[in-house]
């Protein structure tokens, strides 16, 4: 009978320890994912200026052409058209 109780206690302790470790791991994973997301956010947080309309857009959403940044392909096309006609004049 005593042996059974000791086994039960050992089992309970192991179970609680496992649960605690699992929770610690989950918390660590959450923190880890958060810091990873922060890093990504910082990179995406780089703002660049559209050469056509001067609006600031995140680098990840901007288009780059001929050393200039643009908020959209429409503005890129208009800017390049404008520049081309300037060169022709």
User: What residues line the site for Zn ion (CB under 5 A)?
Assistant: 50, 52-53, 71, 75
In the structure encoding, which two tokens stand for residue 65, read together? Answer: 């052409």
Q: How far is the CB of 87 from Zn ion (least distance, A)?
A: 21
Tell me how far, at minimum, the Cβ of 44 lies from Zn ion, in Å. Answer: 18
Looking at the Cβ atoms of 44 and 61, the one nearer to Zn ion is 61
- Please count the other Cβ atoms lying within 10 Å of the Cβ belonging to residue 69: 19
| Cβ–Cβ under 8 Å, residues 73 and 60 | no
CB of 17 to Zn ion, least distance (A): 58
Token readout for 66 is: 């001929």
């Amino acid at each position: 009978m005593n042996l059974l109780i000791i086994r039960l206690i050992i089992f309970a302790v192991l179970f609680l320890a496992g649960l605690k470790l699992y929770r610690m791991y989950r918390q660590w994973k959450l923190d880890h994912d958060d810091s990873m997301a922060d890093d990504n956010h910082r990179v995406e947080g780089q703002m660049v200026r559209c050469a056509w309309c001067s609006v600031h857009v995140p680098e990840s959403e901007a288009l780059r052409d001929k050393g200039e940044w643009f908020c959209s392909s429409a503005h890129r096309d208009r800017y390049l058209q404008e520049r081309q006609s300037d060169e022709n004049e």
